[in-house]
Structure 1
Amino acid sequence: MADDEDKPKRHTLDTLFHVYCNHKVIPTELDNEVFNSILLSQLDAWLEQAKLMPIPITRVQTGLIYMRYKKWRLNMKIFLRCCNNFAAIPNLTMMNSRKLIAAGPPTGGTDIVVVK
């Protein structure tokens, strides 16, 4: 078991979702606020890092799909539905979690976030 603790941990879709939810957040009056939902700009940044934007997905397409849910921030459950909608875009052969996980944390950082 000690060997397992020494190995670097890999990100999952859940941990990366949490990282991107808190990426480039404008400071608020509340200190140490942690977000569990994602903004459109954060989703766009993730798709860019995954090399899915601007081709085959554009900002207009992400905005239209995102706004279908009529929420300022999307939680994980709605985010997954949103990803399924991206899969219906022509010329997008495969929108799956592997591409999003392979993108890694924003700007190539290696921070691992523990999701409780």
Structure 2
Amino acid sequence: MADDDDKPKKHTIESLFRIYCNHKVIGSDLENQEYHSILLSQLDCWLEQAKLMPVPITRTQTGLIYMRYKKWRLEYEDFLEVLQILCSESDLNYEEMKETLVLAGAPTGATEIVVVK
């Protein structure tokens, strides 16, 4: 069983969601805050890394869908609904899209910072 501990762990859509929720965020008054919900900019960053943006999905499209929720951040269940809507609007397969997001992995090389107040 020791060999299993040495293997890199594979991400899931949920584990990557948690990583992206805390990507590129500087809390203005909250230090060491961990977020469990995602910003629109973080979602767009993930879609870009997965090479799903700007084609077949656009920032305008994600923005319009995101605004339907009338929240600053979306919880995991809302995030999955957004993916389903994006798939139906863009004629993409939902399961394949989730797999593409998992294969994109954790965020890399980002320099943009989001300040949360």
TM-score normalized by structure 1? 0.87
Query: Quick one: distance in 2 between partners of 1:93 and 1:68?
Result: 21
Per-residue CA distance 1:14-63 (angstroms, 9 max, x = gap) = 11001100000023222210000000000000000000000011100000
Q: Secondary structure at the match of 1:26?
A: strand
| Paired-residue identity, % | 59
- Unaligned segments of structure 1, at least 5 residues: 110-116
Q: Which runs of 4+ in 1 moved over 6 A?
A: none
TM-score normalized by structure 2? 0.86
Query: Quick one: distance in 2 between partners of 1:67 and 1:43?
Result: 13
Aligned partner of 1:48: which letter?
Answer: E
CA RMSD of aligned residues (A): 1.5
Per-residue CA distance 1:62-100 (angstroms, 9 max, x = gap) = 00111111111000011001100001124x433421010
- Unaligned segments of structure 2, at least 5 residues: 111-117
Aligned to 2:108: 107
Query: Quick one: distance in 2 between partners of 1:31 and 1:63?
Result: 28
> Aligned in 2, Cα 1:108/1:10: closer, same or farther, shift over 3 Å?
farther
Aligned to 1:58: 58
Aligned partner of 1:29: which letter?
Answer: D
By percentage of residues, which structure has more strand? Answer: 2
Aligned to 2:76: 76
Matched length: 108
